[in-house]
Each structure stands twice: as C-alpha cells, then as structure tokens.
Amino acid sequence: MRRLTENQKIDFEKSNGLVPVIVQHYKTNTVLMLGYMNEEALEKTKELGKATFFSRSKSRLWTKGETSGNFLIVKDILIDCDQDTILIKADPQGPTCHTGSDTCFDEEIKPNNDFLYQLEGIIADRKNNPTEESYTVSLFRKGVNKIAQKVGEEATEVVIEAIDNNRERLKEETADLLYHLLVLLAEKDISLSEISEVLRNRHLK
C-alpha cells in the first residue's frame, strides 16, 4: 500500500467507474466496512475529511453518518499496487454498522499494540523523507553515537522513576525509552518484527 498523493490516480475505468474501499480503524487496524467510491465520492471524501461513498442501490453519493452522526473521520488514504482499490484509515465517531455493531463484520474494536509498528513506520518515513523541524530527523543527523547516548539516558531515567515509585513519570520515561530505541533500530536497519522474532524464538525454547 502507498499513500494517495495529488500525482497518483485511481484507475476508475478498470471497474466501470467504481472501486472498492476498505475502511480500517486508524488505531487498531480493525476492518470497519467495505464500500465503493467513484471519482466524485473520492473528491468529496478529501474535501470533507469524512468517508463518502457511492451507493449502488440508491445511485447517489452518501457520507457515512449523514443521518446517524456516526461519521468516519479520515486519517489517511492509501491505494494498492494496481491503483484500483482504496484503503481508508478512519476514526469512527460511533458504531460503523447500521445494526449498532462496531463494524459491519460484527467485530468489537479492542485496543492493541500496533501503534508501536505505526510509530516505527513514522520514524522510517522521517529517516527517508527528512524535514527541518523534525526532532527525529535531528537525531538521525547526529548519528548513531548520539542516538545510542539518548537510549542510555532514557534507560537511566526509567530506572530512577521505577526506584522512586513514581507511576506517571515511569510511564512517561518508558515511552521516551521505547521511542529512542525505535530510532536506534531504524538507524541500524533492524525492524521491530525482527526483535519480536527473537523474543518468539526464546519463548518457544
């Protein structure tokens, strides 16, 4: 998948003007629903920031939540390699399904740890597409020694807060440690999945 940019075009011609649209929860990656868009619906989605589809039964555009108020606030729009399927990452403002279920597949949305993988992706993007105002970019520019030093500093802070029994500060410092550790892994071209695999193999022994 890749993000939809102004220079990229969806191939609406391939499927008679309509393309399938998968909607995922932007935090949990739970699939919320499947809909269809024509070119006008896509433009309306980008304009409103709310998922808007083409209704095949009513032959008109409809914005999800226009009657219920349960809008799908768009966080990201991606396209597949063939440019004929859209993936929308959305923040649902209530149940997605008309039945009252969280999703149209009768799944309950539960929090998970995928944000670490999302953060890994954000860090990789900062590395590959640097911007001047990014703290992450500034770390990469200072090199591995500085990044490793920050990991050490944050690890020390975690130890201090754990000993002091300051729960809130411990959470904050642990978050800082995880972030800087992900930056270090990105600098060394090691993925979070590789680390997970090491842990999985240890667990199986």
CATH of residue 157: 1.10.287.1080
pLDDT by residue for the chain (205 residues), tens only, comes to 556 666 678 989 888 899 999 999 987 889 999 999 999 999 999 999 999 999 999 999 999 999 999 999 999 999 999 999 999 999 999 999 999 999 999 988 766 656 888 899 899 999 999 988 899 999 999 999 999 999 999 999 999 999 998 999 999 999 999 999 999 999 999 998 888 888 878 876 5
CB-count exposure of residue 151 (10 Å: 0-12, 13-18, 19+): buried
Boundary-marking domain end, from 58, 92, 126: 92
Instruction: Please report whether residue 47 resides in a domain.
Output: yes
pLDDT of residue 57: 92
Exposure class string for 28-66: b at 16+ Cβ within 10 A, else e = bebbbbebbbbeebbebbeeeebbbbbeeeeeebbbbbe
pLDDT of residue 205: 59
pLDDT of residue 117: 82
Question: Which domain covers residue 51, as residue numbers?
Answer: 2-92
pLDDT of residue 197: 82
C-alpha 20/C-alpha 34 separation (Å) is: 7
pLDDT of residue 59: 94
Instruction: Please report whether residue 127 resides in a domain.
Output: yes
Give yes or no: residues 88 and 124 share one domain.
no
pLDDT of residue 112: 60
Instruction: Please report whether residue 98 resides in a domain.
Output: no
Q: How many domains does the chain have?
A: 2
pLDDT of residue 87: 97
pLDDT of residue 29: 85
Give yes or no: residues 76 and 126 share one domain.
no
pLDDT of residue 61: 97
